[in-house]
Amino acid sequence: MPLLRVTLTPGAFDDAQKARLAAALTDASCRAESLPDDPGSRMGSLVLVDELAPGAFYSAGHPADAAVAGVFVDWQVSAGVLDGARKARFATELQDAATAARDGDDGRLVVTSCVIHEVPEGQWAQNGAIRRLPEITARARFEHLTALIDQR
Q: Sign (positive/negative) of CA torsion 132, 134, 139, 140?
A: positive
Band (pLDDT 50/70/90 cuts) for residue 151 is: low
Q: What is the span of the domain harbouring residue 36?
A: 3-151
CA distance 78 to 123: 9
What CA–CA distance (Å, rounded) separates 14 from 111? Answer: 16
Residue 24 dihedral angles phi and psi, to the nearest 5° = -65, -40
Mean pLDDT taken over the chain: 88
Q: How do residues 17-33 score in pLDDT, each as one tens digit?
A: 999 999 999 999 999 98
**How many domains, in total, are found in the chain?**
1
Q: What is the pLDDT of residues 107-133, one digit of tens each?
A: 999 999 999 999 998 888 888 988 777
Instruction: Give the CATH number of the domain where residue 77 resides.
Output: 3.30.429.10
Q: Name the pairing type of β-strands 46-51 and 3-8.
A: parallel
